[in-house]
């Protein structure tokens, strides 16, 4: 067993979404805390891909931002190569270089007023990876080519590119600091299938060539199935299931995962709209008691409504947080 | 096929190929072709150019119809002209884009030459649009409730209290939890997916008969995506509401659409019943597009890619616009542009290839 590259322990993030204090005092409204992320644990082995899926608003992007150092977690820790990373300070030098993030909207990481070469070259300067202008130019050209772009594209601005090309530019920029761990938050969700195929192929090739480790977030289960080695399923701030991809898609354990896999829109569901998962997504402001999934779960019982299930290891590896499975009811 | 909605104006028309368009109903009946009620929406030879009649064509000769209660999917890669099609229907083309020829009819009457005041009444009312970017449709300084109530009252005669009740109902319909409480939330307080659901609720506020939905579920997770698609399909069936569903997710098309139009570089590459186009695509571009979709259990290392990229619309090659990327290109493809021609399975494909057996 290789030592994990990334270890995340008990990571939580709360948001204070209380009304302004005047309103609270005058209307006697309580303070409101939104638990976007609640005690998340996982590890990722080097050069592997952990895919993360889950309901909109379940905390995927919050997790990504915390790990990328863009937002401090409320509690919990992350270890990188066995050593703790200071997630609260945006300046942890080791993390800043080794951990990079790719967003759904590439504009989020590209300055529209910078040329592509400036955007891609900026991390080279910031980390002192290029000693001369000529060296920087050469490295930028190399990065652009690695991302499937033309070296001449460096002179252009982001708005002169298509969405797929902009995502390639964002990939080139993310790779500039020679990271080992890439956090990809819905990297192809805004792209057309033909362009998505090119970007996913690119990411896979780069992973192989540079030995990259990915945390790959997507709401699209078919994309996760294509990219991931392990898959984590999130629900309302909790990681409810974690399994090897091969196991998860063949034998999903958690009732939520089962329903998710049943509702994947695919070319085979032609002519019969899949029965959508019933019920509302509970508000993270007011999560259900016990197991957060119980109002939508066909296997819920009194214990589920009362007691929150904790992640329990599965015999074949991975974990699942469900009373029915722990009790052998499912 | 599409089920005719009998409550609608029974003006005869045909959902078929462009060559049938010029035939009258009795002539068609003679030929044994299906006669349908009036189309809800009809595009005839719609052409949109950059600047003026001499500018590059962003949309070139697009012809299709939409029946009441029908869902027509529009797919194609980014820049193919999907959003421009949607914007042209709503007359929301912004300079330098302009419609230079062709016509758009809604419930039989031309709408592409309506006065702006009349068009404004249609927009958000009888014809609604769900935009690709939820932030463009939502005003950051007003609460969700204020925006919903305002839109509802703009198009329906309701008191503020009634509109508020309707707003809660709409938010529930699109799957917003704690709908009542959420009325006082601002757009930025929602996650990306929830924001898009609010946008769909806004679109439904004016009780539309046609919804043009541009990437409506792109930002949503699968379980809610399925709910929203099911909701759009149900609304479409129950109210005879036509839906133009612009998406890059072929899985969504497979589940929701009755027919699908594949656009390439502003031109129609293939149009047909969804089962036919997905299972037996005729056009090499449509074939490539369908092959590029990841499929669960496929176990592919690399996904099949279409080589090259779509040309810029102001630098289209002569002949078939797809020819520089096509593996089956023939000499004629480089010089002559193929028109959409009928194929087996009720499909139209703009390609010089003969139908393979
Ligand atoms: N700055 C913030 N202030 C208050 N609440 C927030 C903030 N950022 C996120 N949230 C809330 O935290 C929860 C998790 O949000 P997050 O963006 O991580 O969801 P997500 O899983 O990425 O969703 P999506 O699939 O829609 O992108 C949501 O309920 C969201 O409304
Ligand atoms: N406002 C505009 N000005 C100039 N060109 C535009 C404008 N809007 C769209 N285009 C061009 O029209 C073509 C079709 O765009 P669009 O309909 O947005 O594509 P998509 O199929 O991705 O929705 C593209 O080449 C695009 O660059
Ligand atoms: S713990 Fe209970 S409610 Fe939760 S998923 Fe398991 S069976 Fe369903
Ligand atoms: S017309 Fe020719 S180039 Fe165009 S898609 Fe058909 S075979 Fe390919
Ligand atoms: Mg997100
Ligand atoms: Mg578009």
Pick B254's closest partner by Cβ from A201, A266, A286: A266
Instruction: Give the span between the Cα atoms of B8 and B240, in whole angstroms.
Output: 8
Residue closest by Cα to atom 6 of ligand 3: A322
- The answer to whether residue B40 sits within a structural domain is no
Residues A185-239 have pLDDT tens digits of 988 877 777 778 888 998 999 999 999 999 999 988 899 999 999 999 999 999 9
Which residue ranges in chain A fall short of pLDDT 50? 272
- The answer to whether residue B30 sits within a structural domain is no
CATH value at residue B195: 3.40.50.300
Smallest CA–CA distance, residue A274 to chain B, in Å, is 7
Q: Tell me: ipTM over 0.90.
A: no
Pick B223's closest partner by Cβ from A163, A197, A260: A260
Instruction: Name the maximum alpha-carbon separation found in chain A.
Output: 68
Instruction: Report in angstroms the alpha-carbon separations of B5 from B11, B70, B104.
Output: 12, 10, 21
Number of domains in chain B: 2
* Distance, first Cα to last Cα, chain B: 24
Domain-wise residue ranges, chain A: 252-267+286-330
Contact state of A204 with B302 under an 8 Å Cβ cutoff: yes
Nearest chain B residue to A164 by CA distance is B78
A260 within 8 A of B223, measured Cβ to Cβ: yes
Question: Separation of B338 CA from ligand 6 center, angstroms?
Answer: 25
Residues in chain B closer than 8 A to A200 (CB atoms): 294, 303
Instruction: Give the span between the Cα atoms of A164 and B80, in whole angstroms.
Output: 13
Residues B42-83 have pLDDT tens digits of 999 999 999 888 999 999 999 999 999 999 999 988 788 998
Q: Looking at the structure, tell me whether residues B246 and B275 fall in a common domain.
A: no
Determine if ligand 2 sits within 6 Å of the CB of residue B52: no
pLDDT, mean of residues B246-252: 80
Q: Which residues make beta-bridge pairs with A124?
A: none
Which strands, in side-by-side order, build the sheet including A181-185?
Answer: A99-102, A181-185, A213-217, A49-54, A230-235, A238-244, A319-320, A312-313
Smallest CA–CA distance, residue A309 to chain B, in Å, is 22
Three-state SS at B230: helix
Look at residues B257, B280, B315 and tell me which one is the last residue of a structural domain.
B257
Residues in chain B closer than 8 A to A219 (CB atoms): 193, 219-222, 225
Question: Given this model, what pLDDT does residue A18 score?
Answer: 81
Instruction: Give the span between the Cα atoms of B139 and B141, in whole angstroms.
Output: 6
Smallest CA–CA distance, residue B67 to chain A, in Å, is 18
Query: Which residue, among B192, B69, B203, has the nearest Cα to B128 in the 3D structure?
Result: B203
Atom of ligand 2 nearest to the CA of B79: 19
Instruction: Give the span between the Cα atoms of B278 and B43, in whole angstroms.
Output: 23
A94 within 8 A of A80, measured Cβ to Cβ: yes
For the question of whether the overall pTM of this predicted structure is more than 0.90, the answer is no
A5 within 8 A of A44, measured Cβ to Cβ: yes
Instruction: Give the span between the Cα atoms of A60 and B191, in whole angstroms.
Output: 10
Question: Separation of B81 CA from ligand 2 center, angstroms?
Answer: 6
Instruction: Give the span between the Cα atoms of A172 and A162, in whole angstroms.
Output: 15
Residues B284-343 have pLDDT tens digits of 999 999 999 888 888 899 999 888 878 888 889 999 999 999 999 999 999 999 999 999
B20 vs A272, residue with greater confidence = A272
Determine if ligand 2 sits within 6 Å of the CB of residue B62: no
Q: Looking at the structure, tell me whether residues B122 and B218 fall in a common domain.
A: yes
Contact state of A265 with B309 under an 8 Å Cβ cutoff: no
Instruction: Report in angstroms the alpha-carbon separations of A33 from A38, A64, B145, B165, B232.
Output: 12, 20, 22, 27, 34
Atom of ligand 4 nearest to the CA of B323: 3
Instruction: Report in angstroms the alpha-carbon separations of B28 from A250, B35, B116.
Output: 51, 7, 37
Question: Given this model, what pLDDT does residue A266 score?
Answer: 66
Question: Given this model, what pLDDT does residue B6 score?
Answer: 32
Q: Looking at the structure, tell me whether residues B253 and B274 fall in a common domain.
A: no
pLDDT, mean of residues B253-273: 94
Residues B185-218 have pLDDT tens digits of 999 888 766 787 888 888 888 889 999 998 877 6
Q: Looking at the structure, tell me whether residues B290 and B228 fall in a common domain.
A: no
Q: What's the burial of A286, exposed, middle or buried (CB within 10 Å: 0-12/13-18/19+)?
A: exposed
- The answer to whether residue B5 sits within a structural domain is no
- The answer to whether residue B311 sits within a structural domain is yes
pLDDT, mean of residues B267-274: 97
Q: Where are the beta strands (DSSP E) in chain B?
A: 41-50, 57-66, 71-75, 97-106, 109-110, 127-130, 210-214, 242-246, 259-264, 267-273, 341-343, 347-349
Look at residues B257, B281, B310 and tell me which one is the last residue of a structural domain.
B257
Determine if ligand 3 sits within 6 Å of the CB of residue A98: no
Question: Separation of B265 CA from ligand 4 center, angstroms?
Answer: 13
Question: Given this model, what pLDDT does residue A89 score?
Answer: 81
Smallest CA–CA distance, residue A288 to chain B, in Å, is 12
| % of chain B surpassing 70 pLDDT | 85
Residues B94-140 have pLDDT tens digits of 889 999 999 999 999 999 999 999 999 899 889 998 876 666 778 99
Q: Looking at the structure, tell me whether residues B218 and B80 fall in a common domain.
A: yes
> What is the overall mean pLDDT for chain B?
84
Instruction: Give the span between the Cα atoms of B289 and A192, in whole angstroms.
Output: 9
Residues in chain A closer than 8 A to B252 (CB atoms): 265
Phi and psi, residue A53, nearest 5°: -120, 165
Neighbours of B283 (CB within 10 A): 27
Nearest chain A residue to B175 by CA distance is A280
- The answer to whether residue B237 sits within a structural domain is yes
Instruction: Give the span between the Cα atoms of B133 and A256, in whole angstroms.
Output: 29
Contact state of B294 with A225 under an 8 Å Cβ cutoff: yes
Nearest chain B residue to A208 by CA distance is B301
Pick A277's closest partner by Cβ from B189, B223, B288: B223
Contact state of B193 with A283 under an 8 Å Cβ cutoff: no
Residue closest by Cα to atom 3 of ligand 4: B323
> And the tokens for A93?
């030098």
Determine if ligand 4 sits within 6 Å of the CB of residue B351: yes
Q: What's the burial of A246, exposed, middle or buried (CB within 10 Å: 0-12/13-18/19+)?
A: middle
Contact state of B298 with A226 under an 8 Å Cβ cutoff: yes
User: What is the extent of the structural domain holding B122?
Assistant: 68-90+115-257
Question: Given this model, what pLDDT does residue A31 score?
Answer: 84
For a mutational test of ligand 1's pocket, the pick from A51, A61, A108, i.e. the residue with the most ligand atoms closer than 8 A to its C-beta, is A61
Question: Separation of B85 CA from ligand 2 center, angstroms?
Answer: 10
Question: Given this model, what pLDDT does residue B238 score?
Answer: 75
């Amino acid at each position: 067993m290789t030592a994990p590259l990334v270890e995340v322990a008990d990571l939580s993030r709360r948001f204070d979404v209380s009304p302004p204090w005047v309103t609270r005092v005058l209307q006697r409204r309580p303070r409101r805390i939104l638990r976007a992320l609640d005690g998340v644990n996982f590890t990722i082995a080097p050069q592997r891909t952990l895919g993360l899926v889950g309901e909109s608003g379940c905390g995927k992007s919050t997790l990504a931002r915390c790990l990328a150092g863009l937002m401090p977690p409320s509690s919990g820790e992350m270890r990188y190569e066995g050593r703790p990373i200071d997630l609260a300070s945006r300046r942890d030098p080791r993390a800043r270089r080794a951990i990079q993030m790719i967003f759904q909207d590439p504009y989020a990481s590209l300055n529209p007023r910078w040329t592509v070469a400036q955007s891609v070259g900026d991390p080279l300067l910031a980390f002192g990876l290029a000693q001369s202008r000529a060296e920087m130019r050469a490295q930028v050209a190399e990065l652009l080519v690695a991302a499937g772009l033309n070296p001449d594209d460096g002179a252009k601005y982001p708005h002169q590119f298509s969405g797929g090309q902009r995502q390639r530019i964002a990939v080139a920029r993310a790779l500039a600091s020679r990271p080992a761990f890439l956090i990809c938050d819905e990297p192809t969700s805004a792209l057309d299938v033909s362009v998505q195929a090119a970007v996913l192929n690119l990411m896979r090739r780069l992973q192989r060539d540079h030995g990259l480790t990915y945390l790959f977030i997507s709401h699209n289960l078919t994309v996760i199935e294509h990219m991931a080695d392990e898959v984590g399923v999130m629900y309302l701030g909790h990681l409810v299931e974690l399994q090897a991809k091969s196991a998860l898609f063949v034998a999903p354990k958690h009732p939520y995962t089962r329903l998710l896999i049943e509702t994947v829109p695919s070319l085979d569901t032609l002519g019969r709209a899949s029965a959508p998962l019933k019920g509302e997504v509970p508000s993270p402001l007011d999560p259900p008691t016990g197991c957060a999934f119980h109002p939508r779960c066909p296997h819920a019982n009194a214990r589920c409504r009362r007691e929150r299930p904790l992640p329990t290891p599965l015999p074949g590896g991975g974990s699942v947080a469900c009373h029915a499975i722990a009790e052998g009811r499912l | 096929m599409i089920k005719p909605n009998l409550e609608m104006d029974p003006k005869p028309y045909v959902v078929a190929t462009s060559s049938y368009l010029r035939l009258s109903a009795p002539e068609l009946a003679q030929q044994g072709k299906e006669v349908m009620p009036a189309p809800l929406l009809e595009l005839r030879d719609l052409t949109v150019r950059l600047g003026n009649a001499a500018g590059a064509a962003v949309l070139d000769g697009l012809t299709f119809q939409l029946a009441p209660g029908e869902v027509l999917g529009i797919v194609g890669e980014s820049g193919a002209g999907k959003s421009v099609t949607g914007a042209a229907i709503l007359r929301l083309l912004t300079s330098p884009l302009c419609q230079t020829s062709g016509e758009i009819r809604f419930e039989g009457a031309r709408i592409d030459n309506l006065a702006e005041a009349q068009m404004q009444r249609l927009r958000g009312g009888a014809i609604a649009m769900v935009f690709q970017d939820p932030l463009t449709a939502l005003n950051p300084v007003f609460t969700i409730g204020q925006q919903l109530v305002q839109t509802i009252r703009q198009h329906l005669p309701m008191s503020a209290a009634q509109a508020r009740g309707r707003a809660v109902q709409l938010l529930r319909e699109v799957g917003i939890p704690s709908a009542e409480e959420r009325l006082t939330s601002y757009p930025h307080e929602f996650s990306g997916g929830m924001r898009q659901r609010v946008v769909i609720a806004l679109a439904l506020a004016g009780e539309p008969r046609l919804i043009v939905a541009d990437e409506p579920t792109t930002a949503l997770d699968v379980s809610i995506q399925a709910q929203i698609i099911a909701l759009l399909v149900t609304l479409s069936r129950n109210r005879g509401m036509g839906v133009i569903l612009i998406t890059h997710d072929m899985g969504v098309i497979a589940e929701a659409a009755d027919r699908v139009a594949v656009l390439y570089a502003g031109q129609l590459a293939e149009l047909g019943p969804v089962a036919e186009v997905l299972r037996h695509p005729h056009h090499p571009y449509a074939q490539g597009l369908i092959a590029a979709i990841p499929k669960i259990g496929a176990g592919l290392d690399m996904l099949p890619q279409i080589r090259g990229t779509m040309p810029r619309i102001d630098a289209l090659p002569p002949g078939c616009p797809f020819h520089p990327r096509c593996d089956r290109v023939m000499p004629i493809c480089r010089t002559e542009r193929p028109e959409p021609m009928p194929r087996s399975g009720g499909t139209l494909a703009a390609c010089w290839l003969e139908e393979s057996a």
